[in-house]
Amino acid sequence: MAVRRHIGYWLVELDRLITERFDEDLAAGELGRRHWQILHSLSDGPQQASELHAALDTFLNGQAEWDAELAAVVTRGLVVDESGTLSLTDAGRDVHGQAWIRIGARRRQMTEGITDEQFAETMRVLEKMAANMSGAEQVR
């Protein structure tokens, strides 16, 4: 008899596979996952460093990691920090564009056979489940 896998298994497995595959794709452009998140977040225009940090906080292990990841993209010349406002440089836009081609292809692969409506519903359900569990008291 086959083992029935539950939601926890599929969430962890999908997260593992997303991380593994996206890391492979980003490594082709010498980017780490957090570097990509910073570049992609800035691709629509400049943002306050504090707002971007807050938006990415779930993915970070504290202030030290944020400082290191931001310093890496600034040192590489991909992002400029002007008095707390972050924006992409020309090089940053180019690196982002090349990575976006690879990430876009990977996202299409991940959602192959899934309709836009199914994807939207999945996102809605996961968001609701997270909201339900956030601050949930112990069940007795």
Q: What six digits make up the tokens of 15?
A: 């997260």
What pLDDT is stored for residue 65 in this prediction? 92
List Cβ neighbours of 56 (8 Å cut-off, separation of 6 or more).
Answer: 34, 37, 38, 41, 66
pLDDT single digits (tens) 90-135: 999 999 999 999 999 999 999 999 999 999 999 999 999 999 988 7
Please state which of the ranges 10-24, 38-52, 55-69, 88-102 shows the lowest mean pLDDT: 55-69
What pLDDT is stored for residue 137 in this prediction? 73
Specify whether the CB–CB gap between 81 and 74 falls below 8 A: yes
Tell whether domain 7-130 is in CATH 3.20.20.70. Answer: no
Burial 115-131 (b: 16+ CB within 10 A, else e): eeeeeeeeeeeeeeeee
pLDDT single digits (tens) 77-86: 999 999 999 9
As a whole number of angstroms, the distance between CA 29 and CA 63 comes to 25
What pLDDT is stored for residue 139 in this prediction? 64
